[in-house]
Amino acid sequence: MKPTLILASSSPFRQQLLTKFNLPFESFSPDIDETPFKAETPEQLVARLSEQKAREAIKHFDEGLVIGSDQVAVFSNTILGKPHTKENAIKQLSAFSGHTVTFLTGLSVFDIKSGKAITTVVPFDVTFKTLTFEQINAYCDAEQPYNCAGSFKSEGLGICLFEKLSGDDPNTLIGLPLITLTKLLAEFGVDVLTLQGA
């Protein structure tokens, strides 16, 4: 029997990624305070927020496996926020030119019935090309990435900003590390492959 999977995320990109498993799932949009705690590291932050998102969803379901995920981008030991304006996006992208930004994705899986929970953090590095102002300006005009941490959309034209991507799973960059999720689900007795057609 297929388990009930619940994705605790309002992100359409995470929802689209989870469809790759070819398993039915429900989505729940958690409403949590994402403010970092004082002295909290980026790794601690994404682990805590992915857990909080999953715990918020648990309150609304009787059974199933809840998947929570959260992501931050880190540059020069600073968590990157969303730029909100073109001016701020240009500043961020100019700073990244020729440098590497690390994306940290917290991933939590909770079994509602048993209370068992596993949380991990998956890193992914993005090295930017050396970019001209003209390139950055044109990119911002074309994609308007003002609500994206790091000022780019890797699933779109943003891929043209990069020199190199480094990590175990390219899905991590979009916000849901599927290779790691497959391993975590196996810890709960869920084999994504053998459930196909079940």
* pLDDT tens column, 150-173: 899 888 899 999 999 999 999 998
Backbone angles phi, psi at 117, to 5 degrees: -145, 145
Residue-averaged pLDDT of the chain: 93
Alpha-carbon distances, residue 198 vs 1, 108, 122 (angstroms): 7, 25, 30
Query: At residue 1, does pLDDT exceed 70?
Result: no
Please report the pLDDT score of residue 198 as a whole number: 58
What distance lies between CA 42 and its chain's CA centroid? 13
Alpha-carbon distances, residue 190 vs 78, 124, 184 (angstroms): 37, 25, 9
Quick: pLDDT tens for 107-137: 999 999 999 999 999 999 999 999 999 999 9
Confidence of residue 174 (pLDDT cuts 50, 70, 90): confident
Helices (H), the chain: 12-18, 42-58, 86-96, 133-143, 171-174, 178-187
What predicted TM-score, i.e. pTM, was given to this entire model? 0.89
Catalytic residue among 31, 33, 62, 70: 70
Please report the pLDDT score of residue 46 as a whole number: 95
Span 57-78, average pLDDT = 94
Alpha-carbon distances, residue 86 vs 35, 96, 153, 166 (angstroms): 24, 15, 14, 27
DSSP classification of residue 118: E
Tell me if residue 12 falls in helix, strand or coil: helix
Domains identified in the chain and CATH numbers: 5-187 (3.90.950.10)
70 noted as active-site residue: yes
CA neighbours closer than 13 Å in the CB half-sphere of residue 111: 14
Confidence of residue 18 (pLDDT cuts 50, 70, 90): very high
